[in-house]
Amino acid sequence: MNRDERPETVRPLLDVGAGGAPLPEIEQEIADRKGEARRVVNRLAAIVEDHRQAALPLDIELGAGDISAVLGALREHARGAAGTPVPGARDEIHGYCLNRLFDELVEEPSNILFTTRTGPGTIRYDAMNAAFWIECLDLMEATYGSSKDS
């Protein structure tokens, strides 16, 4: 049986999400939701601060408005939009700094794992889902935006 004669049992990878129904969002059980959100926000804040410091030698100061623009782009990305380029770039170097921060932060949901006990002695590891990620971004903006000056 050649390739063209095989029955199609699996949707091709490139067709996933292209005009079809969105994949269902799995409800994620997080025991200490507030504590986990604080942990995520602290992790994001450390990454933001690293980027703020790295931008200073380039004469770029990333203020609260810049961080807000990046967080907004991350929210849009979590909802299925492209997210980049991050809006609000004053020039090419500033845009580069904003987009590099976006690029690093957009990977975080897949780097933060939660455990779910599936049976006696068995644990499943799940990456953060989009709904919780957006909650963390909202918390990040509420706390970071009010504690940093533009």
pLDDT of residue 17: 46
CB 48 within 8 A of CB 67: yes
Q: Which residues pair with 20 in a beta bridge?
A: none
Name the pLDDT band for 100 (thresholds 50, 70, 90): very high
pLDDT > 50? residue 150: no
Interatomic CA distance for residues 48 and 65, integer angstroms: 13
Name the pLDDT band for 21 (thresholds 50, 70, 90): very low
Tell me the pLDDT tens digit for each residue of 41-59: 999 999 999 999 999 999 9
Name the pLDDT band for 137 (thresholds 50, 70, 90): very high
Q: First and final CA of the chain: distance in angstroms?
A: 64
Rg (CA), the chain: 19
pLDDT of residue 2: 56
Compare 36 and 116 and report the one with higher pLDDT: 36
pLDDT > 90? residue 31: no
**How far is residue 141 from each of residues 2, 33, 70, 102, measured CA to CA in Å?**
54, 17, 10, 14
**How far is residue 74 from each of residues 91, 93, 115, 136, measured CA to CA in Å?**
21, 20, 24, 11
Closest CA to 27 of 136, 130, 149: 130
The rounded percent of the chain whose pLDDT value lies above 70 is 77
Instruction: Compute the average pLDDT of residues 18-30.
Output: 52
